[in-house]
Amino acid sequence: MGGRTWVYTSDGREIRKSVYGTSWDEVHERLTALKAKTQAGVRVAGSIQSVSDFMAYWLRDVVQDRVRPSTLRTYEWLSRCYVVPLLGNQRLGKLQPPTVRSFLNRAKETCQCCAQGKDAGRLSAGQPARCCARRPRSCCQQMPSDGTIRHLHRMIRAALQDAVIDGLIPDNPARNLRLAHRYRPRFTPLTGADAKLLLKAAKSDRLYALYAVALALGLRRGEALGLRWEDIDLVEGVIFVRQTLQRLGGQLVFGPVKSDESERVIALPAPCLAALRQHRVSQNAERQSVGKDWKDSGLVFTTGIGTPIEPRNLNRHFVRLLDHAGLRRIRFHDLRHSCATLLYEQGVPIEKIQDILGHSSPTITKLIYVEVTRQSQRSSVDKLGFLFDA
pLDDT at 277: 97
pLDDT at 154: 93
* pLDDT tens-digit series, residues 6-60: 776 655 667 777 766 778 888 788 778 877 777 777 665 555 688 999 999 899 8
* pLDDT tens-digit series, residues 198-215: 999 999 999 999 999 999
pLDDT at 289: 94
* Residue 92 dihedral angles phi and psi, to the nearest 5°: -55, -40
Give whichever of 92-96, 125-129, 299-303 has the largest mean pLDDT. Answer: 299-303
Residue 65, H or E segment: none
Percentage of the residues of the chain whose pLDDT score is greater than 90: 46
Question: pTM to 2 decimals?
Answer: 0.69
- 3 state DSSP class of 57: helix
* pLDDT-based confidence at residue 80 (cuts at 50, 70, 90): very high
Kindly state the average pLDDT of the residues 140-164.
88
Q: Which residues contact 248 (CB under 8 A, 6 or more apart)?
A: 69, 70, 73, 255
pLDDT at 16: 73
Residue 145 to residue 153: CA distance in whole angstroms: 13
Rg (CA), the chain: 28
pLDDT at 176: 87
pLDDT at 383 over 70: no
From 109, 218, 248, 92, select the one nearest 156 (Cα to Cα). Answer: 92
Kindly state the average pLDDT of the residues 169-180.
84
The answer to whether residues 63 and 88 touch, using CB atoms and an 8 Å cutoff, is no
The answer to whether residues 25 and 13 touch, using CB atoms and an 8 Å cutoff, is no
pLDDT at 61 over 80: yes
Percentage of the residues of the chain whose pLDDT score is greater than 70: 84
Residue 104 to residue 83: CA distance in whole angstroms: 9
Beta strands in 104-259 (DSSP E): 232-233, 238-241, 243-248, 251-256
- Cβ-based neighbour number of residue 103 at 10 Å: 21
* pLDDT tens-digit series, residues 314-334: 999 999 999 999 999 999 999
Kindly state the average pLDDT of the residues 224-243.
94
Of residues 93 and 282, more confidence is placed in: 282
* pLDDT-based confidence at residue 184 (cuts at 50, 70, 90): low
From 335, 302, 332, select the one nearest 206 (Cα to Cα). Answer: 302
The answer to whether residues 244 and 255 touch, using CB atoms and an 8 Å cutoff, is yes
Kindly state the average pLDDT of the residues 131-153.
78
Domains in the chain, ordered, with CATH? 2-39 (no CATH), 70-165 (no CATH), 192-377 (1.10.443.10)
Give the β-pairing of 251-256 and 14-20.
unpaired
- 3 state DSSP class of 232: strand
Kindly state the average pLDDT of the residues 140-161.
88
- 3 state DSSP class of 248: strand
Tell me which amino acid residue 117 is: G
Tell me which amino acid residue 29 is: E
Number of H-type helices and E-type strands within the chain: 17, 7
Q: Choose the weakest-confidence range: 70-74, 138-142, 200-204, 323-327.
A: 138-142
The answer to whether residues 10 and 47 touch, using CB atoms and an 8 Å cutoff, is yes
pLDDT at 387 over 60: no
Using alpha carbons, list the distances in angstroms from residue 153 to 74, 109, 173, 330, 367: 13, 15, 11, 27, 21
pLDDT at 375: 62
pLDDT at 155 over 80: yes
Of residues 365 and 88, more confidence is placed in: 88
Q: Choose the weakest-confidence range: 176-185, 245-254, 261-270, 374-383.
A: 374-383
Residue 201, H or E segment: helix 192-202
The answer to whether residues 160 and 177 touch, using CB atoms and an 8 Å cutoff, is no
Residue 58 to residue 387: CA distance in whole angstroms: 62
* pLDDT-based confidence at residue 381 (cuts at 50, 70, 90): low
pLDDT at 12: 64
Mean of per-residue pLDDT scores for the chain:
84
